[in-house]
Amino acid sequence: MVSLYNIGAVVAFHPASLKRLQSLPGLITVNQRIGPVHLMKINQTLNWFVQGEGKVKAGLNRIEVLDVKGDELVLKFHWTEGLASTPHVDMEPVIIGDDPIPFIKVRNPPSSFVLKIHPR
């Protein structure tokens, strides 16, 4: 289920965390240790899409989705109230796996759009 998240590196020091991460064969490579701190690389291809394809540029309160391919997208970003798009897209929260916070699902997306959080 790690592939559900676009994580490329982890810094960990707690023994239980280290034990759990190291129990997943091939998932991590320890790049460096600084005392009890382990700097680790996650061995997975980085990708912003659970479903669909495209490019993503993310910044402060801005997710720009470009060169979209697919009739339905699920982005590796968590849903939050107040999420809006330009132009308007048909989007909804979707629960995946055991994560209690939903991800962003977009139906029939245009070739590009921008997501921002607008406070209520």
Average pLDDT of the segment spanning 52-71: 97
Residues 19-37 have pLDDT tens digits of 999 898 899 999 999 999 9
Whole-number mean pLDDT of the chain?
A: 94
Report the pLDDT value the prediction gives residue 102, as an integer from 0 to 100: 98
Predicted pLDDT at 24: 87
Dmax (CA) of the chain: 50
pLDDT in tens, 90-116: 999 999 999 999 999 999 999 999 999
- Tell me: the pLDDT tens digits for 1-13? 568 899 999 999 9
CA distance 80 to 92: 10
* Residue 40 to residue 23: CA distance in whole angstroms: 14
Report the alpha-carbon distance of residue 108 to residue 111 in Å, rounded.
10
- The domains of the chain are located at 2-42, 49-117
Give CA torsion, residues 51, 102, 3, 108, to 10 deg: 10
Residue pair 56/112 in contact (Cβ under 8 Å)? The answer is no
Contact 40, 11 (CB under 8 A): yes
